[in-house]
Structures are given as C-alpha cells and as structure tokens.
Amino acid sequence: MSDPAVERLRRRVLHPFFFRIFLLGQLPLGLFAGLRVRALDEDRCQTTVPYGWRTKNPFRSTYFAAQAMAAELSTGVLAMAVVKSAPSPVAMLIIDLEATFGKKATALSIFTCEGGAALRAAVEQALATGEPATATVETVGCMEDGTEVSRFRFTWSFKKRS
C-alpha cells in the first residue's frame, strides 16, 4: 500500500483507538458489537466479531446480523482502500448479498476476504468506461480453531463521480 491515503486508512483501521473513533462516526452498531480489523493489505482484509452478550442470539451462537457486519466490514475496508487509491473520486455501494451458515459460531469469528484484485479491476473498469462496474467478493468466517461458520458474497458497485 504505497498510496499515502491508503496507508492512512490502513493505520486508522488497525489502531484500536482510531478504529473505535471511526466506528463511532461511521458504524456505531459495529462499535457496540466489538468489531475489529485484524489485518489489511492490498489483497486481503481480516475482521473479527466476538462471541458474547452483545452478539449472542437465544440459540447460544453469534447472531447472523453480527456476523454480517463483520463480513461486510472485511470486504468494505478493502473496497475503501481501492477507492482511496483511485486517481478520480469513485462512489461505492453494495448491491447484492448472499450468505450461507455452516456451524454455530460459539467463539470469536474471523472473517477473511481476499478479493482486493477483483475490487481493483472493477474500480479501474468504472474509471476507464465511465459506467458503473461491479465486483463480487467472498469472505469466509471461521472460529479460531479453523471451523468455518459462514460464507458471505457481497457484490459491490463502483461508479466514477462526476
């Protein structure tokens, strides 16, 4: 991440204090749920959501909406980094979401998205053509022991701002 704006974003989301301030202003429910960004580079982002009283459902697992927040964050931070590195302003928006749930999430869940290249390609296409472009990226949620709990596919739309 050689772009200074992207590096600032990276430092902000990886620093616990500054990330909490970011969540307070942009995603207050994420702050309440305890979302964190564990890792971020050009192609990959990892986020976490804890299992606890704030995210637990009556079935003693992490509520699907809390998992969806962490999953969206793993793709969204990556998309934000790509947009920040673009030479022109670009708008981004989720236009589709698919999810599957395999096992009960009964511990900290880690969501990993490795879709940086697809997001970059969509932004480059939107800038080159002036037309909206989309990218579908997958994020996989696992507990720390490696048990997969859920998979999410988000379709992001990018459009060059006028």
Share of the chain above pLDDT 70, in %: 99
- Whether 109 has a pLDDT exceeding 80, the answer reads yes
The percent helix, strand, coil of the chain (3-state, each to 5) is 40, 35, 30
- State the pLDDT at residue 1: 53
Q: Which residues contact 40 (CB under 8 A, 6 or more apart)?
A: 10, 13, 14, 46, 77, 78, 81
- State the pLDDT at residue 14: 93
5 compared with 81, residue with greater pLDDT: 81
DSSP 88-104: S-EEEEEEEEEEEE-S-
The phi, psi pair for 158, rounded to 5°, reads: -120, 140
Tens of pLDDT, residue by residue over 11-60, are 999 999 999 999 999 899 999 999 999 999 989 999 999 999 999 999 99
- State the pLDDT at residue 3: 81
Radius of gyration of the chain (CA): 16
Is the whole-model pTM more than 0.85?
yes
- Whether 135 has a pLDDT exceeding 60, the answer reads yes
DSSP 147: -
- State the pLDDT at residue 134: 97
DSSP 62: B
- State the pLDDT at residue 5: 81
The mean pLDDT value of the chain amounts to 94
